[in-house]
Amino acid sequence: MTPPSVWVRSRGGTYEVVVGPGLLPDLPRSLVEAVGARRYAVISDDNVAALHGHAVMERLREAGLDASLYTFPAGEASKTRKSWSILTDEMLEAGFGRDACVVAVGGGVTTDMAGFVAATYLRGIPVVQVPTSYLAMIDASVGGKTGVDTKAGKNLVGAFQPPRLVVADTSVLRTLPREERAQGLVEAFKHGAIMDRPYFERLEANFDRLMDADGDAAADAVLRSVEIKAEVVGEDEYESAIRQILNFGHTLGHAIEAASQFRIGHGSAVALGMLLEARLGEEMGVTERGTRERLEKPLVRLVGPLPKFDPEAAVPFLRSDKKVRAGEIRVVLLRRLGEADKGEGWSRAVPEAQLRDLLAKAAAAR
């Protein structure tokens, strides 16, 4: 049976995101069909290499493909220009040419960074994304965003490089720590919140099965989230308009995450960002009353008590956010659960002072 998939439109042609349990054994055939590269550079962090990278390598070699594994230390702290340089230099040293392909096997850090390696290697070679976390399956592997972090914030250096193929094998989620499952599912709830209330409610109903990484429940969620993201990204690859709604929770979330020096997890930070931005929307009269409260239950159930943070440390990161335009800080607001607000081009300029207040009040309440 052909596994379900979503086709994503992109300037570099359309590509397929295949979703379902047990897809990895078929990876060699999928690579040959989608890319047909002469050599494959498999990139994983050292954790995922042990769990899946070596197994993938074995399968590729058994299928007669020329493949080499490159690893880097696990963790967001590795998502740097330095790691990117080292991986690039290793591939150059090994003589990979333009007919090579990068295969990113891992979470969002890996898919983002390996994507950036591919985007800039000899000015761009193909990349196939093999996400192994909910976050990477749901979020990082669709849309072609690649990049690394800098001191000034997350993902500030990067490129758009749509993958040639995405293989989301939901069986591998069983190897994902429960906490990371929760962190990733925050993005699924976000998709429900901005676009699809029935999906939000289905996620609530399937909560335990999703947290247990049940293959079918996971495939259902990943597929719907990928559909939502593909629909939004396909309409607006360069993030000038509607694609911004995917940033719901992220203006404040990224700032809080960066201010914590990434000690607060991405999911927790975004969950908090979503609640704060819902509160902001309600205060501004844009978001239906009660929306924040409606979001809070599943989000707190996912990520636990919301993290403490230093509001003053977060403020400078608001200004360095990529969403800053014409010097204004822009925030995506909801109209109601399941519907983003059209605003002024799908986001609204919010004065820094108002955001600073919001952060201060939220921090004081913890």
Q: Which residues here bind a copy of itself, judged by CB under 8 A?
A: 11, 38, 81, 85, 88-89, 92-93, 95, 97-99, 119-124, 145-147, 150-153, 155-160, 319-320, 322, 324-327
- 355 Cβ neighbours under 8 A, 6+ residues apart: 251, 252, 280, 315, 318, 329, 331
- Of the pair 110, 146, the CB lying nearest a copy of itself is at 146
Identified catalytic residue from 59, 266, 330, 348: 266
Contact 53, 70 (CB under 8 A): no
- Of the pair 21, 115, the CB lying nearest a copy of itself is at 115
- Of the pair 66, 216, the CB lying nearest a copy of itself is at 66
Smallest separation (angstroms) from a copy of itself to the CB of 257? 17
State both tokens at 68. Answer: 């080499």
Contact 155, 148 (CB under 8 A): yes
Is 231 in the active site?
no
Is 247 in the active site?
yes
Smallest separation (angstroms) from a copy of itself to the CB of 232? 17
Identified catalytic residue from 52, 59, 79, 145: 145
Closest CA to 19 of 165, 160, 162, 140: 165
Identified catalytic residue from 164, 190, 191, 250: 250
Is 239 in the active site?
yes
Sheet of 67-72: strands edge to edge? 5-8, 15-20, 165-169, 127-131, 100-106, 39-45, 67-72
State both tokens at 119. Answer: 């985007």
Contact 303, 211 (CB under 8 A): no
Is 243 in the active site?
yes
Contact 51, 25 (CB under 8 A): no
- Of the pair 152, 205, the CB lying nearest a copy of itself is at 152
Smallest separation (angstroms) from a copy of itself to the CB of 320? 6
Smallest separation (angstroms) from a copy of itself to the CB of 130? 22
Instruction: List the catalytic residues.
Output: 123, 145, 187, 229, 239, 243, 247, 250, 254, 266
